[in-house]
């Protein structure tokens, strides 16, 4: 079967070609038009339609660089199927260096959206009609929030879809978190339609973390090989299957004060272990931040100034923790994650 042209907002992309398309989204107060920049790589042969998108939270930048590098891979000329690559979804948040939209809504809580709804709802509807509903597979790129960093991890609901599980394993980061769906998220919407969808979470907002970007690009390539978009590479070995964490919890600040962490990102921790201390500026009145489960630190705050109750260390719980610890250590030595 021959591949047909792909059309995005009326622009035709012929088989065997690629094209950058500005998808009009809204106007600024000045009436300067705002666009979502999209590149479509349309293979000569039919195949999966993969949507890879970054910065649905406008301040989460690692995905922007991941998409840029993905689009420079030389073997995209041999692509089977179609890659829809969107470096910046939330263009409003991006120019403001903000997670949110101008009305303070979270675009990743606005799906499926509607054409007559709020700004977020309208952008979600546009994104859905032009891109999400046409994708057979989706990879959504995120980072931790501002002042928070994440160990590279895949979040997904694995048991609902075998292909999702295979994609998560192929991605090749040591931590897979079997995560609940957030209402209104792109992931919830896509999964309810039966489309395999991965969320890649890595690094910190408003940063380029090389140890988050490089494994992200590599992971997407591996998924593209798995689903037949890129030729298999027999020289490369597949990563050992990652252990799946079935839950996670946050260790919170016991008091207001200044945090001195005692563990780094990726550390193995035990229940009741002190992960850091919070104290006054002299170090008086120290109070420990206590882990409430055995697990691996998959996210942590980078800001030493904390309020009581603030989430400081994100710990993923595992059944077989030794294997995860080894996998995280070898991953970190490869990508030189310092974590602090």
H or E element in which residue 176 lies: strand 175-178
The least distance separating Zn ion from the CB of residue 218, rounded to whole angstroms, comes to 20
Q: Using the rule CB under 5 A, give the single segment among 21-29, 56-64, 126-134, 330-338 that binds Zn ion.
A: 56-64
SS3 string, 68-79, reads HHHCCCHHHHHC
Q: Residue 63: which H helix or E strand, with range?
A: helix 62-70
* Cα 126 from Cα 295, distance rounded (Å): 40
Query: Which residue from 18, 42, 57, 218 is in contact with Zn ion, where contact means CB under 5 A?
Result: 57
Q: Which is nearer to Zn ion, 57 or 155 (CB)?
A: 57
**With contacts defined by CB under 5 A, how many residues of the chain interact with Zn ion?**
3
Q: Which stretch binds Zn ion (CB under 5 A): 1-9, 25-33, 138-146, 272-280?
A: 138-146
- Report 210-269 residues binding Zn ion (CB under 5 A): none
Q: Looking only at residues 281 through 340 of this chain, which bind Zn ion when binding is defined by CB under 5 A? A: none
Evaluate whether 33 touches 16 at the Cβ level (below 8 Å).
no
Binding-site member from 42, 137, 142, 221 for Zn ion (CB under 5 A): 142
**Which of 77-85, 136-144, 261-269, 292-300 is the region at the interface with Zn ion (rule: CB under 5 A)?**
136-144
Q: How far is CA 141 from the centre of its chain?
A: 3
Q: Quickly tell me which residue has 């689009």 as its tokens.
A: 71
Give the pair of three-digit tokens for residue 320: 């077989």
Q: How far is the CB of 195 from Zn ion (least distance, A)?
A: 19
- The reply to whether 187 sits near Zn ion by the rule CB under 5 A is no
Strand 305-306 versus strand 244-245 pairing type? unpaired
Handedness of CA 19, 24, 28, 29 (dihedral sign): positive
- Tokens in use for 51? 């949507």
Q: How far is the CB of 63 from Zn ion (least distance, A)?
A: 9
Give min distance, CB of 142 to Zn ion, in A: 3
Q: Where do contacts with Zn ion occur on this chain (CB under 5 A)?
A: 57, 60, 142
């Amino acid at each position: 079967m021959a591949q047909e042209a792909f059309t995005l907002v009326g622009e035709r992309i012929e088989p065997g070609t690629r094209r950058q398309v500005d998808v009009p989204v809204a106007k600024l107060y000045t009436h300067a038009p705002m666009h979502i920049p999209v590149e479509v790589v349309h293979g000569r042969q039919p195949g999966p339609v993969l949507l890879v998108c970054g910065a649905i939270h406008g301040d989460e930048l690692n995905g922007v660089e991941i998409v840029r590098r993905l689009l420079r891979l030389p073997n995209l000329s041999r692509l089977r199927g179609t890659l829809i690559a969107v470096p910046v979804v939330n263009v409003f948040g991006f120019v403001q260096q903000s997670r949110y939209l101008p009305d303070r809504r979270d675009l990743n809580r606005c799906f499926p959206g509607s054409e007559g709804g709020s700004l977020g709802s309208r952008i979600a509807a546009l994104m859905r009609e032009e891109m999400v509903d046409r994708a057979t597979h989706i990879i959504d790129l995120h980072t931790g929030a501002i002042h928070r960093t994440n160990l590279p991890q895949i979040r997904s609901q694995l048991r609902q879809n075998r292909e999702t599980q295979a994609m998560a394993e192929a991605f090749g980061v040591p931590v897979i978190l079997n995560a609940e769906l957030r209402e209104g998220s792109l992931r919830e919407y896509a999964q309810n339609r039966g489309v395999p969808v991965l969320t890649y979470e890595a690094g910190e907002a408003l940063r380029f973390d090389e140890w988050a970007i490089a494994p992200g690009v590599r992971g997407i390539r591996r998924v593209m090989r798995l689903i037949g978009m890129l030729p298999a590479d027999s020289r490369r070995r597949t990563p050992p299957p990652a252990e799946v964490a079935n839950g996670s919890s946050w260790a919170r600040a016991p008091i207001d004060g200044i945090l001195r962490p005692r563990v780094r990102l990726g550390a193995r921790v035990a229940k009741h272990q002190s992960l850091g201390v919070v104290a006054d500026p002299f170090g008086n009145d120290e109070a420990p931040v206590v882990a409430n489960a055995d697990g691996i630190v998959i996210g942590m705050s980078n800001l030493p100034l904390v309020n009581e109750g603030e989430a400081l260390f994100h710990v993923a719980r595992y059944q077989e923790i030794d294997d995860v610890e080894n996998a995280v250590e070898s991953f970190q030595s490869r990508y030189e994650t310092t974590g602090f």
